[in-house]
Structure 1
Amino acid sequence: MNGICTLANDYVFDQLVALLNSIDVILGKETPVCIYPFDDQTQRIADEIAKRPNVFLYDNQTSINRWDKFMLEASPASMNKNKYRIYGGHRRFCAFDGPFEQFVYLDADTLVMNSLDFIFQKLDEYNCVVYDFQFKHPDKVYKINSVKLLQIFEKNRILTEIFCSGFYASKKGLFEPEKLDNLLSNLRAGEREILYLTGDQPVLNYMFMRSGIPVYNFAHHLPSHQITGNSVTSEHFEEKDKILYDKGNRLTYLHYIGISPNINQAVCAGENIEFPYRDLFLYYRYLHEPEKRPVFKNPPKNYNDAPVQNLLTKALQKFKLINQG
């Protein structure tokens, strides 16, 4: 069985609902979706997906523990044991344990804009399929000034194989215990120093590249006139019938990268904060409950200027996630 995977907790609830609703519209309400828990704060999610029979929370604790243990050693931040603590971004790696034979992983802060059939079809030829432009910023994956980097990976691989961990397609069973042990041995032997700071994205790229698993990126292979962007930082997308187009080509997905969940929470709590493609987000967030969509009364603030902490407090109080003291 094939399916869609994402990673979430209650902190990104509004973004998650928007993603799930976009899946309903674009891929169909029967599309299986597995949510990997970022942490234990998932009660709002559990309540929401109780009415979505196609969506379920991943609960294989053995798998979760396995990847927690792996990340504790794999992250370069783990070299500073006194300050390092694990967080849940890497739990998207549980997709390599199941439940889908083939999967497309999407971050919770994305919207599906088009069929993903062409992504799944390419998995017949490759074990990893992506569509993004992270390769233009290798310094967010590897320490590009590290002497050791070019001893491990050829320059051409660094320029072509790097991808964003927010959207990728792959398969179950690619990283069995023996392969992970080999990766950890290399990392312990000094290769952790080539990874950019912390987080799942450098580790995921290293896992594929060090294992010699080819990565197919549509951004490298599509004709130039067919390639689309995917980030909200691109302001030229055109909307038609709640779908975005890039110079006439329909986007595959829209990634709200750089928009903090604090902003989404505050907007959904009624704060008038502008951010790129906000109306599209609100449309999908309130697709099944349009009567709850906020109506803004005050002048808008730009999301870069908004006092996020105060807005977040209001949002959390509204949903009784913190005491109103």
Structure 2
Amino acid sequence: MSRGIYITANNRVLDNAIALLNSIRLYDPEIPVILIPFNDDYQLIAETLAEQHGVQVYPDLEFLDRFTQVVAETFDRDFLALPNKMRKLVAWFGPLDEFLYIDTDIIVFEKIADNLNHLSEYGFLCCDFHHSGEKLKDVFAPLVKEQGIFTDAQLQDVFNSGFWASKKGTITEQQMYEVLRECAQHREYFDFSHGTTDQPVMNYMVLKLIEKRFNLVRIPGGGPGNWAGSKHFEEKDHILYDRGKRLQYLHWAGSPMRPGGPYRELWEHYRYLREPKPPTPTKPSSLQQLVNRLFPFMTARASS
């Protein structure tokens, strides 16, 4: 039985993907990792990750294109503006029997694929506190609860779609297309108010089709957090701890990843784990900035 990790990316998120893969390989040099191209602009990232980390490209690109076309034809563009964001769903039809899907705005702090051991008991895994924090926000509209589309117990299993695991064959291609059509007919079920795309639809699909689900933060004693928007994590030796509990991973998930953002220095550590970090551009002094604004011709002459 084959196990591995899927990511979805294109050249635009190359730095994030390098940071993620550097962290994965630090703890697990051998686990297969497969890149699902987000769009056709992926050659550079595919070559870079293949050379550095042995990452392979999803083998059936024709199916990937057909799947994306089906999604585009199923949903109106004002409902699902970016059908390519649904490409992560082809993980259920790829070469891996048991798989973990990870967004590229994540770094890990352990041999993360060991979580796949839980698939001996469950058909789907997630690892977050979405329900306890955000309730149904960014997933379902209130009427899903009001109309009993799902039970209260089911709705406690809503999840962030950036980190999850499942098994090939748990959802068939026919089942997926049927549920996608069902979702397209009921836009009123979903909360897209904060720009989520795949997450509401994927939650509906998983709650509808996979009965045995497990949230890894519900282990005995409770699991640690993982959102970069949480400011209380403590760092030791480039690993984060939540009140003494070692994080499995850190997910920015809407938190800014730019310089000055949360845990930026930690991200930079993993991004440049295997190569020298480029020097930080020097910022002109306040006086020099004032001179540049008042006398721009002097700056242009100096640089010519």
Taking structure 1 as the reference length, what is the TM-score of the superposition? 0.78
* Contact 1:129–1:216 (CA under 8 A) maintained in structure 2: yes
Q: SS at 2:137's partner residue?
A: helix
Q: 1:42 to 1:184 in 2, by over 3 A?
A: closer
1:130 paired to 2:130: no
* Contact 1:104–1:169 (CA under 8 A) maintained in structure 2: yes
Deviations 1:130-176 (A, max 9, x none): 110112321210012x2676331112311x11011010011112222
* Contact 1:103–1:169 (CA under 8 A) maintained in structure 2: yes
Of 130, 145, 151, the residue aligned with 1:154 is: 151
Q: Counterpart in 2 of 1:22?
A: 23
1: distance between equivalents of 2:254 and 2:77?
28
1:93 paired to 2:89: yes
1: distance between equivalents of 2:272 and 2:232?
24
Residue 259 of structure 1: how far off its partner (Å): 3.9
Q: What count of residue pairs does the alignment treat as equivalent?
A: 278
* Contact 2:100–2:113 (CA under 8 A) maintained in structure 1: no
Deviations 1:246-277 (A, max 9, x none): 1111110101222456x3xxxxxxxxx31111
Q: Counterpart in 2 of 1:110?
A: 106
Q: Counterpart in 1 of 2:62?
A: 62
1: distance between equivalents of 2:73 and 2:131?
25
Q: 1:117 to 1:156 in 2, by over 3 A?
A: same
Residue 68 of structure 1: how far off its partner (Å): 1.3
Q: Counterpart in 2 of 1:200?
A: 198
Q: SS at 1:204's partner residue?
A: helix
Q: 1:147 to 1:234 in 2, by over 3 A?
A: closer
Q: SS at 1:168's partner residue?
A: strand
Deviations 1:177-228 (A, max 9, x none): 321243245335x43320222511111111111114332002233314xx21
Structure 2: 5+ residue runs without aligned partners? 285-304
Larger radius of gyration: 2
Q: 1:212 to 1:51 in 2, by over 3 A?
A: closer
Residue 237 of structure 1: how far off its partner (Å): 1.2
Of 172, 177, 183, the residue aligned with 2:179 is: 183
2: distance between equivalents of 1:181 and 1:89?
16
Q: Counterpart in 1 of 2:261?
A: 275
2: distance between equivalents of 1:71 and 1:211?
18
Larger mean Cα displacement after TM superposition, 205-214 or 94-103: 205-214
Q: Counterpart in 1 of 2:7?
A: 6
Amino acid at match of 1:214: K
1: distance between equivalents of 2:242 and 2:120?
27
* Contact 1:111–1:255 (CA under 8 A) maintained in structure 2: yes
2: distance between equivalents of 1:153 and 1:74?
23
Q: Counterpart in 1 of 2:241?
A: 245
RMSD (CA atoms): 2.3
1:41 paired to 2:41: yes
Q: 1:215 to 1:132 in 2, by over 3 A?
A: same
Of 275, 279, 302, the residue aligned with 1:294 is: 279
Residue 2 of structure 1: how far off its partner (Å): 0.4
Residue 118 of structure 1: how far off its partner (Å): 4.4
Amino acid at match of 1:277: Y
1: distance between equivalents of 2:146 and 2:73?
19
Q: Counterpart in 2 of 1:213?
A: 211
* Contact 1:143–1:149 (CA under 8 A) maintained in structure 2: no
* Contact 1:68–1:86 (CA under 8 A) maintained in structure 2: no
Q: Which runs of 4+ in 1 moved over 4 A?
A: none
Structure 1: 5+ residue runs without aligned partners? 264-272, 300-325
1:284 paired to 2:282: no
Q: Counterpart in 1 of 2:170?
A: 174
1: distance between equivalents of 2:127 and 2:145?
28
Q: Counterpart in 1 of 2:71?
A: 71
Larger mean Cα displacement after TM superposition, 240-249 or 46-55: 46-55
Q: Counterpart in 1 of 2:300?
A: none
Q: SS at 1:280's partner residue?
A: helix
2: distance between equivalents of 1:85 and 1:117?
32
Q: Counterpart in 1 of 2:293?
A: none
1:51 paired to 2:47: no
Larger mean Cα displacement after TM superposition, 64-73 or 110-119: 64-73
